[in-house]
Amino acid sequence: MATNKEIIIQHKLVEAAKRKPKMFKRLYEMFHNDIFYFILNRCHDEHLAADLCSKTFLKAMINLPKYEFKGLPFSAWLFRIASNELNLFYRSNNKNRDVSIEENVLPEIIEETEFQYSEESIDLLLESINGLDLEEVELLELRYFEKRSVKEVSGILGMSEANVKTKTHRVVKKLGKIMKAKSEK
């Protein structure tokens, strides 16, 4: 999560880029890798990720005059554009959405669903994620799989911080219920 000083520097760079689009290069270099991996985690294809990443920055440059500073890091706005680009891609190609989970976050999420960590519960978790909506999966990805702060998630999804906390809690509860129902079958 960016500090206040970093956020102010980013804001100054944004203002400079609004006046002169070539100045966007600094912001591009600052956030390219973050956006690239954000997309790669959601599409599992390096070339597609690079393509969507370029589209994200192009859209950001085009819409930069409309960007309004709200005290959040500039990256939150970029992540939101990237997320919209990904959703657009999956919707227009009618493909299943890719989800990446890091191995080391599995025990935490399984514990949250009140299950014991085991091979069986991992399979159960992976199966149960299919019972969630896209918005719920996005919340899980951001909060648990990528370990982003509530403030950052609220900036990316355009929700209030309280709403992010409540919804995340509900998603984990729902996931636990699905897992329980599947384990009883």
Partner 1 sequence: MKEQKKYNIKIKSGSSNPKKADSHKDFEKVYSAYSSWVYRHPWYKAQLHMPRYRKVFMYVLLIVLISYLVYEAIQKEQEMEKAQQEQVDSIPK
Residues in 110-169 that interact with partner 1 by CB under 8 A: 122, 126-127, 129-131, 137
Closest CA to 10 of 107, 78, 62: 78
Specify the residue, 114 or 123, whose C-beta has the smaller distance to partner 1: 123
Give Cβ neighbours of residue 153 (< 8 Å, ≥ 6 apart). Answer: 139, 142, 143, 159, 164, 168
- Residue 96 engages partner 1 in binding (rule: CB under 8 A): yes
Cα 4 to Cα 71: distance, rounded to the nearest angstrom: 8
Half-sphere exposure of 20 (CA within 13 A, CB side): 7
- Residue 68 engages partner 1 in binding (rule: CB under 8 A): yes
> Which listed range, 33-41, 77-85, 109-117, 161-169, lies at the site for partner 1 (CB under 8 A)?
33-41
> Which listed range, 7-15, 29-37, 80-88, 113-121, lies at the site for partner 1 (CB under 8 A)?
29-37
Q: Are 81 and 31 in contact (CB under 8 A)?
A: no
Given candidates 10, 14, 53, 155, which one binds partner 1 under the rule CB under 8 A?
A: 53
Q: Are 165 and 150 in contact (CB under 8 A)?
A: yes
Applying CB under 8 A, the residues found at the interface with partner 1 are 18, 21-22, 24-25, 28-29, 32-33, 36-37, 40-41, 44, 46, 49-50, 53-54, 57-58, 61-62, 65-66, 68, 96-103, 106, 122, 126-127, 129-131, 137
